[in-house]
Structure 1
Amino acid sequence: MKRPNILFIMADQMAAPLLPIYADSPIKMPHLAKLAEQAVVFDSAYCNSPLCAPSRFTLVSGQLPSRIGAYDNAADFPADVPTYAHYLRRLGYHTALSGKMHFCGPDQLHGYEQRLTSDIYPADYGWAVNWDAPDERPSWYHNMASVLQAGPCVRTNQLDFDEEVVFKARQYLYDHVREHADRPFCLTVSMTHPHDPYTIPRHYWDLYEGVDIPMPLNPLEQDQQDPHAQRLLKVYDLWDKPLPADKIRDARRAYFGACSYIDDNIGKLVQTLEECGLADDTLIVFSGDHGDMLGERGLWYKMHWFEMSARVPLLVHAPKRFQASRVAASVSTCDLLPTLVELAGGEVQSNLHLDGRSLLGHLQGQGGHDEVIGEYMAEGTVGPLLMIRRGAYKFVYSEDDPCLLYDLSRDPHERENLTDSPDHQTLLQALVDEARQRWDVPALRQQVLASQRRRRLVAQALAIGTLTSWDHQPLVDASQQYMRNHIDLDDLERKARYPQPAPLD
């Protein structure tokens, strides 16, 4: 049986609760909505760590951050950790990545046979978190300039990147049908929008002219925040600095425009599949790495376990294989590795550890697990911040801060922490006991501290003398492009054309 092609599209920092496929929303995303109509849509999908690199390392490996050292945005991702790209490549797939994956360390491929672009973020250890100096705000980290300067633009660093990402991805599909049509592909297209800064070209800004931009539903004063949220306000320099309401609205409007920009790119990729005759044989997965608080609860960006930060979009579009449906159970992006391997007709290796669980039962309408385990050890933390999502409840455990417990079936906006509720003491104690059994927090704390200290020393040393960059350098052999004298002109033109014309008599 021919293995299906796989197109895996990722968006960065896209908050699922705001999207029109999940809620009544002013965000315009017609291409995603069209995919969702024929897809299995997961209504309660989460990242396993609400920060770019840890989330992505977990997504590609199917293993939780503590198992692979994915502690923060400067964590080394070991080359011997199998990813879905390794698994699919063993099955005969051509595995390619266009765009962001925020790999840190000297291995910038991690099983992908081809990387079409460089990354937008650095591959070194410069962004390591420092628990030895918890009160020092890192100068390189987010501040509120992206909100205070929100509005329309002509060009940004992120637009430069995503334009290249989508162009190279479409070119890959054209090259595939012209040169490698007999080999299945897994193409991952990972865009950086709608990640801040909150600015987008005028066309997308104007899509929301006259639209009532909803403001945050549940803004909290800083003294009402939990301790981790209070530390976050200080990390991104919002403590004692209230934001003007018009800039909050502008930031959200630009974010909505960036979601529409992503949607247009989804449309371009799907159109390219159709033009190349690949649509029927290509399974499409759409997801993201984490969300964005966007002012909800008075918070911005990610780095917490609240819904806007931790919930991600997830759908699988394969209408010939799976009926369109909605899945209410909680799942995570950690589950994608075993799912992709099974969809490709392979099996995960049983003697290697995996935290992710296949979503195939859900896709087939037969049900499956309803649980997400999460770990966060980066900005704003002074120790591990751990999460269990199961059934109606979300539980956040820390040995430094008070626990959090929410019943999302009755309280979707997480306004009522149930840790003091008399009716929930038995459940709370059971979850606390489970967390203490699941994690050896003192040992994990030491593990993280040791990693941070090693990476700081290495980063300081490598900054001295000649720099050898780990950033991926996509190589292009210009001698094989376009028209060259060592290639027969007629043969070149015929092979480069799709569909190929009939030969002349």
Structure 2
Amino acid sequence: MAASKQPNILVLMTDEQSPQVSEVYGHPYVKTPNMQRLAESGVVFDQAYSDSPLCTPQRASFMTGLQVHRHEVWDNGVPLRSDIPTFAHMLTYAGYETILSGKMHFVGADQLHGFHRRLTPDCNYPGIVAQDWDKSCTPFPGGGTGVRLQEAGPRTESVLKSFDDQVESQSRSYLQSYADGDQEKPFALVSSFIAPHFPLTPSPEYFELYKDIATLPEPRPDDASPDHPAMERLRAFFNFGDVDPETLLRARAALFGLITETDARIGRLLDTIAQLDLSRPTVIIFTSDHGDMMGEHELWWKSSFYEESVRVPLIISCTDPTWFKPHRQSMPVTLIDVTRTIIGLSGSDADTSELDGMDLTPILQGGPAVPDRLIRSQYHAHGTGRSMAMVRQGRYKLNYVAGEPYQLFDLQDDPHEWYDRSQDPALRHVSEALLPHATAGWPEDIEDRVKSSLKKRKLIQEADQQAGVSVDELWIDVGADRGWSWDTHQ
């Protein structure tokens, strides 16, 4: 790699996409030819994880390179502090033009956080909102997941499609205008799509691909371990209810259709890059903020540490084939590692000593990995009522819930996470080794801090309501179609 040459950087981010549902990660029939195209020329990370399986906390971690307990964006209603530098600031410091197209789920007045400009507005109401942890078992208003599954199916026009059309078109227009300019500065463009997040409304031609071949979730074995109480609370909150197999199949077919439809958008952006006369190589990073349970373990959405929810796709490639050595990498990583890698690739000499994560550039170049590396994820948001953490090392995953029993899973022998091994005497040494890492660095009063944040935001929310500002009782989320339109967000 020519280290003296600052590359352009293109981050392609989806929302709520599980890596398992793709050709690259071994799905038997879901088509993702453009992910595969990137994989053939880049590095595929087989064990990439979300730092927090929820939109705003994870995106705050991705922007800052900090774990959640450090930036304290606990849930989807907390503003990221504007005095915390982001990788956009650090790339600007290195001479980059930093551009955002699409979703980054920024809450509050600061909708840039270091980007020079947005090509589109965000898809979420930016107001500061809160939800009482004590209502964690109260079913989601409006019917929750059950209703959303009933509404899944093909749609020619939708809120989601309108937004992602704009993300794609504005990103391609920017790339063309950049190529037509002097190209003096390298660009860092983040193109962030909503799909395959709810609502599950793919274009008809993509739904047709899967409507007759979609399969049901993995059935629960009769001897599986009981669900953790936190998962029972989460299931109650999302109000999954009794959903018939026909509805499940239609919803999964719609989700798979969205994945392939978004893959086609990715392909058109890759084509644009390939057709332009760019003076610098372009590093292309494809990932998502978290996964989706897709009906596995009788859950949809995210918010848990099951593999479908907490793992993410991660492929890093470069238009100059001499930069990286294409291969598959099994070392566990998280998205804050991607943050450090973006900063490292930029050549920025901004101080990164306080950041978490590691720069993956040496591994991209074929250097040695750390196969037994320990990584963590955490969750402090709706649906559980407690702070939770995940620790992954080697074949084992430990799930921690504050004040409640932990779980231990052997992902090699039990990839579907049906059997809790926390009480197995033969694995006690594993639990004892991993458990201290679950809360390492956390302030002792972390749950009090979360509750204090919720209390303060509840006051703000109620004041806004009295002032006539329209906000929802729960998270403002594009998955609940509340009449969002591009025209009203110009």
Same fold (TM over 0.5): yes
2:28 to 4, 8, 25: 25
Q: Deviations over 1:76-114 (max 9, x none)?
A: 110011111111111111000000000011111000001
- Residue identity in the other structure for 1:447: R
Larger Rg: 1
Whole-angstrom CA distance in 1 between matches of 2:457 and 2:174 = 36
Asked if structure 1 preserves the Cα contact closer than 8 Å seen for 2:93 and 2:350, the reply is: no
Identify the match of residue 100 of structure 2 among 77, 92, 97: 97
The secondary structure found in structure 2 opposite 1:155 is coil
Contact 2:220–2:418 (Cα < 8 Å) also in 1: no
Q: Find out whether 1:304 has 2:307 as its counterpart.
A: no
Equivalent residue, structure 2, for 1:295: 295
Structure 2 partner of 1:263: 263
Would the aligned equivalents of 2:398 and 2:407 in 1 still touch at CA under 8 Å? yes
Which is worse superposed, 326-335 or 362-371?
362-371
Q: Which residue does 1:363 correspond to in 2?
A: 364
Q: What secondary structure, in the 3-state scheme, does the structure 1 residue paired with 2:141 have?
A: coil
User: What are the within-5 Å matches in structure 2 for residues 356-505 of structure 1?
Assistant: 356-369=357-370, 370-435=373-438, 437-440=440-443, 442-465=444-467, 467=469
Q: CA deviation at 1:340?
A: 0.5
Answer with 256-265 or 428-437: which moved more: 428-437
Q: Is the Cα–Cα contact under 8 Å of residues 220 and 298 in structure 1 kept in the other structure? A: no
- Say if 1:227 and 1:279 are closer, same or farther in 2 by CA, change over 3 A: farther
Partner Cα distance (1:439, 1:12) in 2: 27
Query: TM-score, length-normalised on structure 2?
Result: 0.90
One-letter identity of the residue aligned with 2:261: Y
2:346 is matched with 344
Pairing partner for 2:181 from 168, 179, 182:
179
Distance verdict in 2 for CA 1:246–1:209, change over 3 Å: closer
Deviation digits for residues 224-274 of structure 1 (CA, Å, limit 9, x no counterpart): 422111111111112xx3110011111111111101111110111011112
Cα deviation, residue 280, structure 1: 6.5
Give the 3 Å change call, closer, same or farther, for CA 120–146 of structure 1 in structure 2. same
Retained in 1: the 8 A contact 2:136–2:233?
no
Structure 2: gaps (5+ residues): 477-484
1:123-163 Cα distance to aligned partner (Å, 9 max, x none): 1123x231244444453794322211221111111011000
RMSD: 2.5
CA distance in 2, matches of 1:445, 1:180: 51
Contact 1:373 1:389 in 2 (8 A): yes
Secondary structure, in 3 states, of the residue corresponding to 2:324? coil
**Identical residues among aligned pairs (%):** 33
The residue aligned with 2:337 is: 335
2:207 corresponds, among 205, 208, 211, to 205
Q: 1:72, 1:129 within 8 Å by CA — same for their partners in 2?
A: no
Distance 1:223 1:143 in 2: 24
For residue 284 of structure 1, what is the aligned residue in structure 2?
Answer: 284
Name the CA distance, whole Å, in 2 between partners of 1:437 and 1:197.
37
| Alignment correspondent of 1:236 | 238
Q: 2:10, 2:189 within 8 Å by CA — same for their partners in 1? A: yes
Runs of at least 5 residues in structure 1 that lack an aligned partner in the other structure: 479-505
Q: Partner of 1:484 in structure 2?
A: none
* Alpha-carbon separation, structure 1, partners of 2:21 and 2:124: 26
Change (3 A) 1:267 1:135: closer
Residue identity opposite 2:239 in structure 1? D
Number of residue equivalences: 469
Q: Larger deviation: 461-470 or 78-87?
A: 461-470
Contact 1:204 1:261 in 2 (8 A): yes
Contact 2:5 2:280 in 1 (8 A): no
Q: CA contact under 8 A between 1:61 and 1:84: conserved in structure 2? A: yes
Deviations 1:466-504 (A, max 9, x none): 65999xx999xx9xxxxxxxxxxxxxxxxxxxxxxxxxx
Equivalent AA in structure 2 for residue 403 of structure 1: Y
Pair 1:264–1:11, CA change in 2 (3 A): same
- The alpha carbon displacement at 1:223 in A equals 9.9
Q: Distance in 2 between matches of 1:323 and 1:374?
A: 28
Aligned 8 A contact 1:382 1:400 in 2: no
Q: Deviations over 1:318-345 (max 9, x none)?
A: 2320110111010000111210111112
Selected match of 2:74 from 40, 47, 71: 71
Change (3 A) 1:278 1:254: farther
Contact 2:53 2:303 in 1 (8 A): yes
Question: Are positions 1:247 and 2:250 aligned together?
Answer: no
**Alignment correspondent of 2:45:** 42
More off after superposition, 75-84 vs 175-184: 175-184
1:217 aligns with 2:218: yes
Task: Indicate if the aligned counterparts of 1:199 and 1:251 stay in contact, CA closer than 8 A.
Answer: no
After TM superposition, the structure 1 stretch with the greater mean CA deviation from structure 2, 387-396 or 39-48, is: 387-396
Contact 1:47 1:311 in 2 (8 A): yes
Paired with 1:237 and 1:180, the residues of 2 have a C-alpha distance of 54
1:24, CA displacement in angstroms? 3.4
The corresponding residue for 2:482 is none
